[in-house]
Structure 1
Amino acid sequence: MDSAVLEDQDAEYELVLRFRPGGPTIVGVWGRPEVADQKLVKWIGQYGGPGVVLTLTATAGGMVSPVKSWTYEGGLQVAGAA
């Protein structure tokens, strides 16, 4: 996660769950990255299966930054990780 986003106290962390790519969404928004990360792990356990797509983004100062994503097929991907 971009350290500038982590330092921004006005950042919002949005977790989006889709049961299939392009399908309807369930959305949660939190003000603390650790809470959003815990929800990501919980949602993977509850809803993770073929076709499911989870994305976690951070928004600060009007800029949206990808943080993590997960698919059944590809597993957990962390933005900026090599």
Structure 2
Amino acid sequence: MDTVLEDQDVKYEYEVKLRFRPDGPAVLGVWSKAETAEKVFTEWLGLYGRPGVVLTLIATADGTTRPVKSWTAKGGLRVAPVV
């Protein structure tokens, strides 16, 4: 996958967070496989993608968190560049 951070020597954790309003309470899931997090992100976008919803996918490794994807009705899908 080209939108997620993967390195064979680093253990990543992927979190998908869904908020029904900006800065509201979050529903979240955490996975060790990028493919699973990507699939959930896409499914949640299809199910809940409407105005007011904020959906994010972030990757964490060694205490460092990096955004991978986000979606809002106003801003659309944003994919962070892989560094």
Q: Same fold (TM over 0.5)?
A: yes
- Within a 5 Å distance, the mapping from 1:2-81 to structure 2 comes to 5-7=5-7, 8-80=9-81
State the SS of the aligned residue for 2:6.
helix
What is the CA–CA distance in structure 2 between the aligned matches of 1:34 and 1:71, rounded to whole Å? 21
Question: Normalized per residue, which structure has more helix?
Answer: 1
Note the residue ranges of structure 1 that are not aligned, 5 or more in a row: none
TM-score under structure 2 normalisation?
A: 0.87
Q: Report the residue type matching 1:11 in the other structure.
A: Y
TM-score under structure 1 normalisation?
A: 0.88
For residues 16-73 of structure 1, give each alpha carbon's deviation from its aligned partner in whole angstroms, at most 9, with x where no partner exists: 0000001110010000111101100000011110000001100001110110000111
Note the residue ranges of structure 2 that are not aligned, 5 or more in a row: none
Runs ≥4 residues deviating over 6 A: none
Give percent identity, aligned residues only. 53
What is the CA–CA distance in structure 1 between the aligned matches of 2:52 and 2:28, rounded to whole Å? 17
What is the CA–CA distance in structure 1 between the aligned matches of 2:77 and 2:38, rounded to whole Å? 12
What is the CA–CA distance in structure 2 between the aligned matches of 1:34 and 1:76, rounded to whole Å? 18
CA-CA distance at 1:9 after TM superposition: 4.8
